[in-house]
């Protein structure tokens, strides 16, 4: 299937497993990815880690050979399939990270942008090179990239197709952090361990406040924040968190 879903303790792991083609995404892989994300959503996993097999690439994008000679409607369905699969990752109730340890181009970078976080090793190279093929990004790149790094830089990347290295990507906010080279899965686990000890209610409300706020005005965003922060006070986890502080002990969150 060239895509694997596995679990390791609290972590769900999606591995793009087509290293001979630099993990290029065939449509079948997008379908499998979409199903895998549904499965993760229904699981007890606390975080999702997305990695690419092999040491050269996270993912070199959509499979260019497969993109050729398709009808207009097939292409539209293809775009919707990719958008839907990556959109599902972005809407998961748990946080996700893409570990970029080599190339992340086109659909590969769009997949990474669907994740909550991106980390990169020094060797990482990223870009949306669709324009070089006479195309434009079709799996969310034109929408998620400007929200992450701003309109001017996004236009620079989309309209030139140029490759950015890990340092530039970190400076621009395309990746959260540059990490020392190593096994991508271990790097992902290390990074995600910062997020998994907290209750899901607070974690989800926090993310929702930020993400919904990004889609609207500051004023409307503040109203969302007021509602969600008030809602957080109503949870048992909030009572437990504040009580544990006063009692000088570690809180035991129950996601309730
Ligand atoms: N697709 C298919 N095969 C790929 C591939 C790709 N994207 N990238 C690499 N490969 C394959 C190569 O063909 C080669 O296979 P063999 O020739 O050995 O059989 C193998 O992987 C190793 O690649 P290279 O020999 O090229 O390795 P290098 O180290 O020399 O170069 C590279 C690495 C990443 C710089 C190079 O492979 C490269 O430039 N790859 C293409 C990167 C790219 O352009 N990605 C963006 C693709 S476009 C849609 C609209 C738009 C899109 C999708 C859908 N709809 C409306 C439906 C656009 C999406 C994209 O992602």
pLDDT tens-digit map of 206-217: 999 999 999 999
- Closest residue by Cα to atom 15, ligand 1, is 21
What DSSP state is assigned to residue 20?
G
- Concerning whether 110 is annotated as a catalytic residue, the answer is yes
Ligand 1 cavity residues, CB under 6 Å: 21-22, 24, 60-65, 67, 75, 78-79, 103, 105-107, 129-130, 133, 135, 138
Q: What are phi and psi of 166, to 5 degrees?
A: -60, -40
- Concerning whether 66 is annotated as a catalytic residue, the answer is no
The predicted pLDDT at position 227 comes to 98
Contact 193, 152 (CB under 8 A): no
3-class secondary-structure state, position 115: coil
The predicted pLDDT at position 3 comes to 95
Residue located via tokens 């895509």: 3
The predicted pLDDT at position 231 comes to 97
Q: Domain 200-246's class?
A: mainly alpha
Rg (CA), the chain: 19
Of 22, 4, 2, which Cα lies nearest the Cα of 13? 4
The predicted pLDDT at position 199 comes to 95
Decide if 3-192 and 200-246 have a common fold: no
Domain at 3-192: CATH architecture: Alpha-Beta Complex (3.90)
The predicted pLDDT at position 1 comes to 72
Domain map (residue ranges) of the chain: 3-192, 200-246
The predicted pLDDT at position 96 comes to 98
Name the pTM for this structure: 0.97
Counting as low any pLDDT under 50, the low residues of the chain are: none
């Amino acid at each position: 299937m060239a895509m694997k879903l596995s679990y390791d303790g609290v972590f769900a792991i999606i591995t793009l497993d087509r290293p001979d083609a630099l993990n290029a995404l065939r449509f079948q892989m997008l379908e499998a990815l979409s199903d895998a994300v549904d499965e993760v959503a229904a699981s007890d996993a606390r975080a999702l880690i997305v990695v690419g097999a092999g040491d050269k690439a996270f993912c070199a994008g959509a499979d260019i050979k497969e993109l050729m000679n398709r009808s207009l409607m097939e292409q539209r369905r293809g775009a919707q399939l990719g958008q839907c699969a990556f959109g599902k990752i972005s809407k998961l109730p748990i946080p996700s990270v893409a570990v970029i340890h080599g190339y992340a181009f086109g659909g590969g970078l769009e997949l990474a942008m669907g994740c909550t976080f991106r980390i990169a090793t020094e060797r990482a190279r990223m870009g949306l090179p669709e324009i070089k093929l006479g195309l434009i990004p079709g799996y969310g790149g034109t929408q998620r990239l400007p929200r992450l790094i701003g309109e001017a830089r996004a236009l620079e990347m989309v309209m030139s197709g140029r490759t950015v290295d890990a340092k530039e990507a970190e400076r621009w906010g395309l990746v959260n952090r540059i990490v020392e080279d190593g096994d991508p899965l271990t790097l992902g686990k290390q990074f995600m361990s910062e997020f998994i000890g907290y209750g899901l209610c607070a974690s989800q409300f926090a993310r929702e406040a930020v993400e919904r706020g990004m889609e609207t005005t500051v004023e409307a965003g503040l109203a969302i924040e007021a509602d969600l922060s008030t809602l957080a006070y109503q949870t048992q986890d909030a009572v437990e968190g504040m009580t544990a502080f006063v009692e000088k002990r570690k809180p035991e969150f129950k996601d309730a």
